Structure 1
């Protein structure tokens, strides 16, 4: 449990209440509109992603986290791939695009977070080779519906000060028949700058760190921090011979803008 003074607990109460209220209102509005959006548009979601984007921008403001951007999010069909440093990545990336995350299946059963993930259209995948074909079909359906997917190829989060080798497994979905020639993948580097006086890894959430203590630390912070998203030039899937070559190219791009230790 982080050490928090009286002023810090007041910030926790005010920010925590604002954040919970913001998420509750956003999800209620999103689910209500989805009742009409689903039968009219099916997999396509022309309205509700705007709500997710707006809520994410507001959540960053509540948390005292300024968001900057370098480069431009691509307009082409495909996916973003980024390094993974914190649960805050979800807000930061959603604030800059109408996107859908790819997550491990276990997240769907997590209290609170799993419900939010399902409500925002997250694509859940199982680490089971027997389901590889079904998952590839799901990816294809979502991509052909115009969804821009986002996933973290490192496979886990870090302290935000390094980039782990990218796993190539999920990249295989982009090489399916009918997809390879039309899809692009855009590498994105997520960079956190800690509040003045705090450790460089202040925003990092990794290993066996508990969500509660980490969230309390952020809510109690008296000084603002910053998250910067660096959007690298998109890579055309058809220009690469296989998933491993594409994964390596994405890793090199993300690593090129990451903090140098």
Structure 2
């Protein structure tokens, strides 16, 4: 009599992500900020969960990612990690917690690793944060880079438009991507840059390149969970594909609940003790 064993998915690591790139297999990545949603996403088989500083927008209602603090990020990340069995959990180091001070950067990264149980940190920038990346990596903390549109620098840009369309900025982005690899970053995110440039970067480095609004010729894709599930109904950039319309589903469900309560239909006899 044969016994069917449930397939056990191996834990995703920085090493296994590199293997995926080498094999040409795409990498899937989504954000999560709480236990319940992280459990669902991890159970579905996602490769990477990003505890993004986008929590500042979708969880706290801020206009930008800048207001979220290190303590906030640690709270969200520790909630996510408790739910995860196989995905690699990457945690954004928030604005003001690593720029310009490599010692502060290391302290921030160590707090994240020790207090959340996360597996890696993510930082925005290239040459300008070189010292912070080096110091964090020297402590054995894996770092994911982030180039292109960098939301923590939004007030410098003044717009969320596509980045690196001009040759000078494109060349710097390629140089920064190569630098991130040389420093020892295990992967990087490219946000909202021309697809052709993203392809050049993915071919120029041996580490995985994850895109968001960066075309299909990168090694993987990331979206904000609230956007791709249609919870955040007002956000509809070209790069976003909505896989559900939870805004409508939840609104209808809440409306039905209100109607049943007002109409004395809930709870019924079977729902009472």
Q: Structure 1 length normalisation: TM-score?
A: 0.29
- Say which structure, 1 or 2, has more relative contact order (CA 8 Å, 6+ apart): 1
Q: Structure 2 length normalisation: TM-score?
A: 0.28
Higher Cα Rg, which structure: 2
